[in-house]
Chain A
Amino acid sequence: METLRDAFDFRDFSRIERIVFLLFSVFLLVFPWLGTGSFVKAVMIQFLLFSLFGMGWNTIGGYGGQVELGKAQYVGIGAYTVALMMVWWRIPFWVSMPIGILIAVGYSFIIGYPLFRLKGHYFAIATICTSLVLQDIFINWKLVGAAKGIELPIHEHPDFLYMQFKSDTHYFYFIMVLFFAGLFYMNWFRKSKLGYQLRMIKDDEEAAESLGIDARWCKIKAYSIASAFVAVGGGFLAVYNLYIDPYSVMDLDLSIKIALMAMLGGPASMWGPIIGAAFLVPLDRFLGSWLGGQRGLIGLDFMIYSALIMVVSAYQPRGIWGILEQFRRKGA
């Protein structure tokens, strides 16, 4: 009961934040009816998906302060579980997705246990490696389609059991529901005991231990929560794209994007990952297609992308959200 109340209680945010959040929610609800093209809709879906990824990353990376660069392996686990179960045994999404989450969480405990013996840079490097190893295994594993990947059987009619639809509107609402579920979860998480303990670990791990906090266990827990979030996103990707391969769902590129968006938006804040995704996903898409496709300036979008990240992180390590808060503090 208390948990539910915490999840839906936004009273400790400022009035402006609540109003913006409300307007944003209304905007999301009516967005498919605004008559935008399919490209814009696809960008919106990507935005919500990466917000979800970012929120998950934020538990261990933001609140816990651990530079985690291996989230793609969990996208892969979620996506492959859903896809393979559908192809092999025709198991519906709503059964395979929870199983995918369980596998991701189990795997994250196994990986996390040795991983969190490491700290700082070593930890970051190790997370990259574990993800690359899993990707390599999938690239060479014939049973799961190896490098060619897997195509999901296409259903003729919209199917809620397998979450297959013809129109992007359905997918939009589907990911929107997941997005809000993640958001409410995070609203609970940041107020939970684990949330407080992680922030202490980030600030001063020695002091945290002196306050009865088992730092390593807390990090493992947060890591598996993040993995569950990301696996859900991966499951969505499988039914949305109807095709997955190790390059699209397990690439280092994806891991880095997930971490960067949350870091740019503002780690350890409620809105940070959403803001980060709202900036970078459209930038990634529009700049990519405009500069690369129409002007022939392939690669320029990546330069702009990275310059932006450098500027923000040099100016305010707490990201765009940190800059906004700075202005608000000065104004008040």
Chain B
Amino acid sequence: MALLEVIDLVKDFGGVVANNRVSFSIDRGEIIGLIGPNGAGKTTLFNCIVGYHKPNSGKVIFKGREMTGFKPFMTSREGIGRTFQIMKVTAGMNVLENVMVGAFCRTDHRPSARKEALEILAFLGLEDLKAYHLNELPVAGQKKVGLARALAIQPELLMLDEVASGLNPKETEEMVNLLKRIHLEKKITLFLIEHIMEVVMPISQRVIVLDGGEKIAEGLPKEIVKHERVIKAYLGEKYAQGL
């Protein structure tokens, strides 16, 4: 049984069709990449799945249960974690407190939320940052806190929206390793939107390509880079030759 199944999902913003009959499924334990040019509807698709947008038609099925139109807090309680492309950087709470809020999703007990949060921070190598506030951290740190927060709700499916954007090559490599460890050690299924091919190609087991709101291709990374429509829409000739 697929972990997440999206069937014929349509989202239209008063004339602009952001997602047009998109269907795909994700199995437990997979790493799936979602790519496409700007405005292809990737983030909209994410938002429709987790409930920030209500799809016009189509179905979202998670763990065999239909949850189309569920509110974001419901989908996250069901086990879908997500990070944001642009994180609001605020000074209200420190890193530990941020992650504790995530952990409070599964417990009412403060000491256990704290323990869980500290474990996740240790797992991501963020213990030293726990007393800092988000606005005091570099972008890479902020992204990792977003990741830690999402992990704290103990998701089965983690949806990452451009988790490597704004990072330098070294930080990007670190992030890729982190994602691999999350997948391997925490046994979490990953679904990532990514612009940076160096991130998405090596770790994805399958890649879904969106263009103009429609799914134009789906397959193994090595198939995708040779796919004619994908090259035309997104990758450009250079990348295909280089690989």
Interface residues of A (CB under 8 A from B): 2, 6, 191-193, 196-197, 199-200, 202-204, 206-215, 268
Contacts and interface: CB of A to CB of B under 8 A. Distances in A.
Nearest to B100: A196
Interface in B69-97: 71-73, 76-77, 81-82, 84, 87-88, 90, 92-93, 97
B154 to A, nearest CB: 10
Given A191-B110, A203-B93, A207-B149, A213 B71 contact: no
Interface residues of B, number: 31
A207 to B, nearest CB: 7
A192 B109 CA distance: 8
Nearest to A212: B105
Given A197-B101, A213-B101, A203 B110 contact: no
Contact of B77 (A6, A204, A212): A212
Given A196-B104, A210-B81, A211-B105, A204 B110 contact: no
B150 interface: yes
A215 B73 contact: yes
B150 to A, nearest CB: 7
B52 interface: yes
A209 B76 contact: yes
Contacts, number: 76
B152 interface: yes
**Interface-centre pick from A193, A206, A208 (highest chain B CB count, 10 A):** A193
A202 B101 CA distance: 13
B93 to A, nearest CB: 5
A203 B108 CA distance: 21
Nearest to A205: B88
A104 B42 CA distance: 46
**Interface-centre pick from A191, A193, A209, A210 (highest chain B CB count, 10 A):** A210
Interface string B125-147: 00000000000000000000010
Given A197-B101, A210-B150, A213-B105, 13 more contacts: A2-B109, A200-B98, A203-B92, A206-B72, A209-B52, A209-B72, A209-B73, A210-B73, A211-B76, A211-B101, A212-B105, A213-B73, A213-B101
Contacts of A209: 52, 71-73, 76
**Interface-centre pick from B81, B102, B108, B152 (highest chain A CB count, 10 A):** B102
Q: Name the prevailing secondary structure of the A interface residues.
A: helix
Given A197-B104, A211-B101, A206 B77 contact: no
B32 to A, nearest CB: 19
A307 to B, nearest CB: 27
B191 to A, nearest CB: 14
Contacts of B101: 196-197, 199-200, 208, 211, 213
Contacts of A208: 101
A192 B105 CA distance: 13
Interface of B: 50, 52, 71-73, 76-77, 81-82, 84, 87-88, 90, 92-93, 97-98, 100-102, 104-105, 108-110, 113, 146, 149-150, 152-153
A200 B97 CA distance: 9
Contact of A211 (B71, B87, B149): B149
Contacts of A197: 101, 104
B73 A199 contact: no
Contact of B76 (A191, A196, A199, A212): A212
B137 to A, nearest CB: 14
26 contacts: A193-B113, A196-B97, A196-B100, A196-B104, A199-B93, A202-B92, A203-B90, A203-B92, A204-B87, A204-B90, A206-B52, A207-B88, A209-B73, A209-B76, A210-B76, A210-B81, A210-B84, A211-B76, A211-B101, A211-B102, A211-B105, A212-B73, A212-B76, A213-B73, A215-B73, A268-B92
A204 to B, nearest CB: 4
Nearest to B146: A207
B110 A200 contact: no
A196 B113 CA distance: 11
A146 B150 CA distance: 54
The 4 closest A-B pairs by CB, nearest first: A212-B105, A209-B72, A204-B88, A203-B90
Given A203-B93, A207-B149, A193 B110 contact: yes
